[in-house]
Copies of this chain bind each other. A is one copy, B any other.
Amino acid sequence: MEDIKAVARRMKLASPDMAATPVEVRDAALLRIREELLAHADEFFEANAADLAAAEEAGVAPAVMGRLRFDEHKLADVCAGLESLVGLPDPVGRVLLERELDEGLVLTRRSCPIGVIGVIFEARPDALVQISSLCVKSGNCAVLKGGSETLRTNRALFRAIHAAACEAGLPELCMHQVEARSDIAELLSCDGLVDLLIPRGSNEFVRYIMDNTKIPVMGHADGICHVYVDRAADLGLAVPLVIDAKTQYPAACNACETLLVDRAVAEAFLPAMGAAFAEAGVEVVADEGARAILGCAPATDEDWDTEYLGLKISVKLVDGVDEAIAHVNRHGSHHTDAIVTEDDAAAERFMQLVDSAGVYRNASTRFADGFRYGFGAEVGISTSKLHARGPVGLDGLVTYKYELRGHGQVVADYAEGRSSFRFRDLA
């Protein structure tokens, strides 16, 4: 079998052709993929049944089994996703700037695909469909490595998707699936061939990827999100908001790990909050001040830097919004943090000074998600400040190039004063 680097090299050479594919062909490919998925549904369900049986035998936790499943419901979801993607405007070829530098010398900044993207994702067959279709819509070639627990389902899905894409006129190398865990290390060494890596999965896994490649990486390792309940909070609104942020899906990166409470409202707020935690089965650890009210176990220094990924939360009292901001900027992971307050000034201060991809007022941190932002789908959530930040949809999968059209202009004429620039933005 051909090694990954050889495939990546061929894919790199094919990527300009993929990038030049008209949007009509890319959209037709998405519709063709949808048809092919519906036509081969039974094959996927059969392959998935075998994956699920193997996972059960291997003792995979019931909570995880739901992610591995690919059934009628998930098929309907991904088909709806494909349709909505077809309806979205083309992210490629958009004119972002058009400027005459001098008479007859026109500069255009135009969006274009990134090129070759490597995506390493968890065992979730619907993610394979979503990611490959986002890459098709954005004109990128993709190397896809899904979690091995759904190997059979992934293989069947990829075969159908790839065949449909090629039949619709996309280059044969528009996408490639790798299956072996050992392929990941080889993929990491493909700098110069793969333009971007998007790893999804556990913190340790994402950090391993970030630390072991020269390829730019988009994603996030930790998700240490905070809710700060301010002295001017509507306390009745705060309790269900914190419960949602903590419990609606505790394993998600946008779940809340630390609750900061303004000392001024601690007595009024924490008894009701503590009761709600108890009812929801949330284990609580807290600093001295909060413990005095909650009667829970003490938090250690480590707790403020810990992502529990489960039904546990740390609670800390702070002296107002500035101490809350300082705590979040120091201990957070720059993902998503919320303030609960009716005070406009405190809210704006928190939202301006907290250095995170998402800064919320009176809303649950769990809203940080491409679908909930109306992006149609996401390839991941980025806590990097460069390129795309927060949930990343189609926009994050394109870059731009500068086109310059002239009639033989040379720089010497401008450097030596025979010509001069007359900048004029067009249209």
Spell out A's residues near B (CB within 8 Å). Answer: 13, 15-17, 19-20, 99, 101, 105, 107, 114-115, 195-196, 210-211, 214, 216, 218, 234, 237-238, 240-241, 243-245, 248-249, 325-326, 329-330, 340, 347, 351-364, 366-368, 372-374, 384-387, 389-391, 399-412, 414-415, 421, 423
- Residues of B contacting A423 with CB < 8 Å? 374
User: Is there contact, CB below 8 Å, between B367 and A411?
Assistant: yes
Query: From residue A364, how far is it (CB to closest CB) to chain B in Å?
Result: 5
User: Is there contact, CB below 8 Å, between B373 and A402?
Assistant: yes
* Complex: A351 Cα to B19 Cα, angstroms: 12
Known: A19-B355, A99-B374. 15 other contacts (CB 8 A): A16-B325, A16-B354, A115-B355, A234-B408, A238-B408, A241-B410, A357-B402, A362-B405, A363-B405, A363-B409, A364-B410, A367-B404, A367-B409, A374-B423, A387-B387
- Residues of B contacting A355 with CB < 8 Å? 15-16, 19, 115
User: Is there contact, CB below 8 Å, between B357 and A408?
Assistant: no
The contact sample of 30 A-B pairs, CB cut-off 8 A, is A13-B329, A13-B330, A16-B352, A19-B352, A20-B352, A99-B373, A101-B372, A105-B363, A114-B386, A115-B355, A195-B386, A196-B385, A210-B214, A211-B214, A241-B408, A244-B410, A244-B411, A245-B410, A356-B401, A359-B404, A360-B404, A361-B406, A362-B409, A363-B409, A368-B402, A372-B411, A373-B402, A374-B421, A387-B387, A389-B399
Given A366-B410, A386-B399, A411-B364; A358-B214 close (CB under 8 Å): no
* Complex: A133 Cα to B243 Cα, angstroms: 46
* Top 3 A-B pairs, shortest CB-CB distance: A363-B406, A244-B410, A237-B408
- Residues of B contacting A366 with CB < 8 Å? 410-411
* Complex: A405 Cα to B340 Cα, angstroms: 10
Query: From residue A73, how far is it (CB to closest CB) to chain B in Å?
Result: 14
Which of B218, B329, B357, B374 is in CB contact (< 8 Å) with A101?
Answer: B374
User: Is there contact, CB below 8 Å, between B405 and A17?
Assistant: no
Query: From residue A151, how far is it (CB to closest CB) to chain B in Å?
Result: 29
User: Is there contact, CB below 8 Å, between B101 and A367?
Assistant: yes
Find the residue from A19, A245, A404 having the highest chain B CB count within 10 A. Answer: A404
User: Is there contact, CB below 8 Å, between A421 and B372?
Assistant: yes
* Complex: A114 Cα to B59 Cα, angstroms: 45
Given A210-B214, A405-B361, A411-B372; A353-B17 close (CB under 8 Å): yes
